[in-house]
Amino acid sequence: MYNLQKEQIILGITQGISELLPISSSMHLTIIPKLAKYIRNSCCDFSGYDNISAKIMAHLGSLLVFVIFFRKILFRDTCLLLTRNHKFFNTFAFYSAIATLCTSIMTIIFKNKISTYLDKYDQTNVMITANIISGILLYLADKKCLQKSKLTASKSFIIGVIQFLASISGVSRLGITITACRLMNINRNQSVSFAMFCAIPAIFGAIVYDLAGQKMNFHLWKDMSILLCTTIIFGLSFIKLCNYSLVRFGFLWIMIYRIFASIVLLMCR
């Protein structure tokens, strides 16, 4: 039981912070167990994380972090929608709805085809390759951005199309969304904020999908409460710092870190 608690704390910290940065949280949740096995003296084997209840708890924690962080914007946009105010059509909620709808359609049409194709290859290699390439693209898109455009409905549609690439293991949803925004010359501050806001419907959809398509042991949910709480605590503690760091310092350090993380995963395979 003690080891299980330590595993949940470590995974909660990993999920809580990695979800706030364009570094693929799913890849880091893969690295941690592999790294623990690679280190012979490790007292954690993370065998319990493979169950679906743990994954839902981790995602639920991140979802609550984003909802709390954007609570004022969510309340304002909801009020605009309920009062049928035309200003609603110029809000993050409206633009994210367009992007999410587009991503969902792309997922329904192409996900199975892409999964079938990628299943032919070693999944660790796919994750490493996707992580490095998308990290480089993020840096290049940010460096070449003119920062002269604002977010619009048509651009949200394109963002939704590109955001579909996050279905590939190793591609950060946050990262690919920022990349899409920067390619359309949206300023860095709005790109980062919008990408984080889009995490709300994306993570919610992932939770619903897991709930609908998998058998879960609901008795394990209580045992996974430490994972949930740790994710929320560290997420809320670091979300402002992560937001500031991305806007202030750009993405060169993110690209370098993603290459480093890929090397670690390659070593631990």
Q: Model confidence over 89-148: pLDDT tens digits?
A: 999 999 999 999 999 999 889 988 888 899 899 988 999 999 999 999 999 999 988 877
Q: Where are the alpha helices (DSSP H) in 19-122?
A: 25-38, 52-69, 71-82, 92-118
Q: Which position has the token pair 């209580």?
A: 222
Q: Helices 25-38 and 252-268 meet at what angle, rounded to 10?
A: 40
- b/e 156-172 (16+ beta carbons within 10 angstroms → b): bebbbebbbbbbbbbbb
For residue 224, how far is the Cα from the chain centroid?
20
- pTM score, whole prediction: 0.92
Mean pLDDT across the chain: 88
Domain count along the chain: 1
Q: 73 lies in which domain range?
A: 2-268
pLDDT 10s digits, 25-60: 888 888 887 777 766 555 565 555 556 777 788 899
